[in-house]
Amino acid sequence: MADADAKKEIIKNAIRGVPDFPKPGILFWDVTTIMLNHQAFQYTIDLFTEHYKDKKVDVVAGFEARGLIFGAPLALALGAAFVPLRKPGKLPGEKISEEYKTEYSTDKIEMHVGAIQPGQRVVLVDDLIATGGTLAAGINLVKKAGGEVVEAACVIELPFLNGRVKIPDTPLFVLVEKEGL
């Protein structure tokens, strides 16, 4: 069995860089290639699970789209509920929402009213933290619902974009750091 550093190296090597996406001059780190490598995908979930197994997590909330892919298996492994944080128009019924700015645009996330109960301990999961806008919006959404954000988790961090500045009071757990725009 590989140690944590070896697992992280396998994960890092499974991530594809796509130049000039979604616009010229951007190097997009594509985590969907992790899922093409069973071992890298398993190690990603294993490392998140090991980190959170003793933190008394009630809910894992995953951001559309790739945070859903990593968040749902983490919730199962932890025996926690899973709450999808979706883009507008994707959830039926009554919702609460939060607007935010990304490195590319202004957007909004939504979740069902009542999906997170007051006092529940929540871990937010996304594929990547860049400027921190998405995670900050998720933190605000959880707080609107009365939940407590235990921590945020991302597969990748782009430290040169200083995303942690937007979430100063929330611990962040990251598996891999990447560079380049």
Residues annotated catalytic, as ranges? 66, 103
DSSP character at residue 160: G
33 contacts: CB under 8 Å, gap ≥ 6 = 14, 15, 16
Q: Distance between CA atoms of 139 and 51, rounded to whole angstroms?
A: 19
103 contacts: CB under 8 Å, gap ≥ 6 = 130, 131, 133, 161
Q: Distance between CA atoms of 121 and 151, rounded to whole angstroms?
A: 9
SS3 content of the chain, % helix, strand, coil (to 5): 35, 30, 35
Q: In the structure encoding, which two tokens stand for residue 9, read together? A: 């190296």
